[in-house]
């Protein structure tokens, strides 16, 4: 294969695969935008073969599905999937659309699925063939090479229909294709497991509350996979005298967070106990619990309207560096966020002083989207006004609604905030947000 050869167009690719009896296929593309474009290009190609019977069946399934999930009727690819039997699947689409695709693919009614590499994990699409178009993938930090595990997950989708003796993997030509690298990755062992164990405020509060002293909490931390992983790495590098140093390194992040929690009154370092406020904070399964806890203690949520409560929670629950569109929050909400930033700075200063990575900035675009949606804006208008991906908006609003439900459980310790949070969660978790 000429690695520098121009990329084959999606219509030509599907035609070639059909000619070799390699459909249905999952074609992995590097970006969401390219997936959507590829599906549209195939649908617009009049030379593509159509099957009237399968097309009729797709139409029946679409109408049946739209009766339960009417929002799919307004999807930009609604006619594409019914007419041409191809679809794009990525995180930018709303959940109901992805469910429709999965239903049609499982029923053997789609010829091709254009997907990003993330679809390879956790979704079992029945396909005869997998097409790899790039040796690279695009992540949150930009472009990087595919890992062995990622490629194995992608290629593992091939031959899963229950009717194929083998599955096929096709490397399509393109500027960023690298057959030699792909061949090496296919033969490589899976990537080593990486521990996700992290020192957090919530884990420290729950462990201290359960075991009653820091010594036992430290013993639990040292039984983690992260500790064993680091110990193995030390042994491999022949640092046999570093066991105590390693133990300190695993425990140090907990100690730093303990100092912060003590400062704000969630634990008592001297007595090694969790305070009353620490007990309800430990029950909050949300991002940035310390910041939300301080807001609750200061009564920030108590007098907010439902849209403003939802917007404030969205500003915290969202990723700080992700844009949720071009729409701005109301002047009142902007003032609320400006006041809230004083609290963010206060918490961040104490964290920095104790060697803890400070709280991230709050997200104004997320707040604007949540404020408008919870205030009654229709979904189509929200998508048009924000110009954000529908899937990104759904995840933001769903995440915000679930965080508000966590606050709603604090009926005994903070009844005023709990009541507002419950009403806000009900307002935000309406169709198509679930």
**What torsion do the CA atoms of 374, 375, 379, 380 make, to the nearest 10 degrees?**
-150
Mean pLDDT computed over 360-380: 94
CB-CB contact of 103 with 61 (8 Å) = yes
Q: Do 268 and 327 sit in the same domain of this protein?
A: no
pLDDT of residue 237: 58
**Nearest Cα residue to 214 out of 164, 163, 270:** 270
Q: How confident is the model at residue 149 (pLDDT cuts 50, 70, 90)?
A: confident
Q: Give percent of the chain above pLDDT 70.
A: 88
The answer for residues whose C-beta is within 8 angstroms of residue 317's C-beta and 6 or more apart is 286, 287, 366, 396, 399, 400, 403
Residues 238 and 382 placed together within one structural domain of the fold: no
User: For the residues of 66-95, what is the DSSP string, one character each?
Assistant: HHH-GGGGG-TTHHHHHHHSEEEESTTS-H
The dihedral through the CA atoms of 34, 35, 37, 42 has a sign that is positive
How many structural domains comprise the chain? 3
**Local confidence band at 150 (pLDDT 50, 70, 90 cut-offs):** confident
CA distance 315 to 337: 8
Domain C-terminal end among 124, 155, 187: 187
pLDDT computed for residue 139 by the predictor: 66
Q: Give the domain-ending residue among 187, 211, 228.
A: 187
Q: What single DSSP character describes residue 362?
A: P
Which band of pLDDT confidence, cut at 50, 70 and 90, is reported for residue 62?
Answer: very high
User: Under a CB-based contact definition with an 8 Å cutoff, are residues 14 and 24 in contact?
Assistant: no
Return the top range by mean pLDDT from 5-9, 162-166, 254-258.
254-258
Domain membership flag for residue 334: yes
List, in sequence order, every residue forming a beta bridge with 321; answer none if it has no partner: none
Using a cut of 0.85, tell me whether the model's pTM lies above it: no
CATH number at residue 340: 1.10.3380.30
User: Is residue 3, in this structure, part of any structural domain at all?
Assistant: no
Domain assignment of residue 2, yes or no:
no
Task: Tell whether 170 and 21 lie within a shared domain.
Answer: yes
> Which of these, 372, 358, 381, lies nearest to 400 by C-alpha position?
372
Read off the tokens for 322. 């992700």
Q: DSSP assignment, residue 117?
A: G
Q: Which of 181-185, 385-389, 421-425 has the highest mean pLDDT?
A: 421-425
36 and 113 inside one domain: yes
Same domain, 96 and 32: yes
pLDDT tens digit sequence for 388-425: 889 999 999 999 999 999 999 999 999 999 999 999 99
Tokens of 319: 């990723």
| Greater pLDDT, 122 or 412 | 412
pLDDT tens digits, residue range 256-268? 999 999 999 999 9
Out of 101-110, 169-178, 215-224, 398-407, which region has the weakest mean confidence (pLDDT)? Answer: 215-224
In this predicted model, what pLDDT tens digit does every residue of 197-208 receive, in sequence order?
678 999 999 999
46-74 mean pLDDT? 93
Residue 4 lies in a domain: no
Residue 4 has pLDDT above 60, yes or no: no
In a domain, residue 5? The reply is: no
Mean pLDDT taken over the chain = 88
Does 304 share its domain with 407? yes
Evaluate if residue 115 carries a pLDDT over 80: yes
Is 77 a domain residue?
A: yes
Question: Are residues 142 and 275 both part of a single domain?
Answer: no
Domain limit, last residue, from 187, 215, 231: 187
Q: Do residue 145 and residue 61 come from a single domain?
A: yes
Band the pLDDT of 250: cuts 50, 70, 90: confident
Which residues constitute the domain of residue 200? 193-283
Q: Report whether pLDDT(1) > 50.
A: no
Indicate whether 36 and 170 sit together in one domain: yes
Same domain, 94 and 133: yes
Q: Give pLDDT, residue 400.
A: 97
pLDDT at 236 > cutoff 70? no
**Is residue 189 predicted with pLDDT exceeding 90?**
no
For 258-265, the CB contacts below 8 A with 24+ separation are 258/204, 258/214, 259/354, 260/201, 260/290, 260/350, 260/351, 260/354, 260/356, 261/201, 261/204, 261/205, 261/290, 263/350, 263/354, 264/290, 264/293, 264/294, 264/347, 264/350
Among 58-67, 158-167, 241-250, 413-422, which is the least confidently predicted range? Answer: 241-250
Q: Is residue 298 part of a domain?
A: yes
CATH of the domain at 41: 3.40.50.300
292 and 272 belong to one structural domain? no
Of residues 198 and 164, which shows the higher confidence score? 198
Q: Give the tokens for residue 52.
A: 């009237």
Q: Of 46-50, 76-80, 240-244, 405-409, which gets the smallest average pLDDT?
A: 240-244
How far does CA 70 lie from the centroid of its chain? Answer: 24
Quick one: 297 and 273 in the same domain? no
Write down the residue that tokens 């139409």 correspond to: 59
**For 360-389, what is the mean pLDDT?**
93
Q: Which residue has the higher pLDDT, 125 or 277?
A: 277
Residue 41 within a domain: yes
């Amino acid at each position: 294969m000429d690695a520098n050869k121009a990329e084959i167009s999606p219509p030509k690719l599907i035609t070639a695969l059909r000619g070799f009896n390699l459909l249905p296929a999952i074609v992995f593309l590097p970006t969401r935008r390219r997936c959507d474009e590829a599906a549209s290009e195939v649908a617009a190609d009049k030379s593509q073969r159509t099957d009237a019977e399968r097309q009729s069946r797709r139409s029946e399934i679409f109408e049946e599905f739209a009766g339960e999930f009417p929002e799919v009727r307004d999807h930009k690819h609604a006619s594409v999937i019914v007419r041409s039997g191809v679809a794009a699947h990525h995180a930018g689409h709303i959940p109901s659309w992805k469910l429709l695709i999965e239903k049609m693919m499982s029923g053997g009614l789609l010829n091709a699925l254009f997907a990003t590499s993330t679809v390879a994990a956790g979704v079992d699409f029945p396909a005869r063939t997998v097409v790899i178009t790039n040796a690279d993938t695009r992540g949150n930090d930009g472009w990087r090479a595919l890992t062995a595990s990622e490629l194995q997950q992608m290629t593992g989708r091939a031959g899963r229909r229950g009717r194929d003796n083998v599955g096929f993997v096709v490397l399509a030509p393109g500027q960023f294709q690298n057959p030699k690298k792909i061949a090496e990755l296919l033969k490589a062992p899976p990537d080593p497991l990486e521990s996700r164990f992290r020192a957090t405020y919530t884990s420290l509060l729950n462990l201290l509350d359960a075991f009653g002293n820091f010594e036992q909490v430290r013993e639990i931390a040292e039984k983690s996979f992260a500790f064993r992983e680091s110990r193995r790495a030390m042994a491999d590098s022949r640092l046999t005298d570093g066991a105590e140093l390693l133990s300190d390194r695993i425990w140090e992040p907990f100690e730093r967070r303990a100092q912060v929690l003590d400062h704000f009154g969630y634990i008592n370092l001297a007595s090694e106990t969790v305070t009353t406020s620490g007990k309800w904070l430990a029950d909050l399964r949300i991002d940035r619990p310390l910041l939300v806890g301080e807001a609750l203690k200061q009564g920030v949520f108590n007098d907010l309207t439902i849209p403003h409560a939802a917007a404030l929670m969205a500003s915290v629950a969202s990723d700080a560096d992700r844009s949720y569109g071009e729409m701005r929050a109301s002047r009142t909400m902007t003032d609320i966020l400006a006041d809230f930033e004083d609290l963010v700075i206060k918490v961040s200063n104490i964290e920095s002083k104790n060697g803890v990575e400070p709280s991230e900035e709050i997200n104004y675009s997320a707040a604007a989207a949540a404020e408008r949606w919870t205030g009654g804006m229709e979904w189509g208008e929200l998508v048009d006004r924000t110009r954000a991906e529908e899937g990104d908006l759904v995840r933001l609003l769903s995440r915000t609604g679930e965080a508000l439900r966590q606050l709603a459980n604090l009926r005994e310790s903070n009844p005023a905030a709990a009541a507002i949070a419950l009403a806000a969660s009900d307002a935000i978790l309406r169709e198509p947000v679930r």
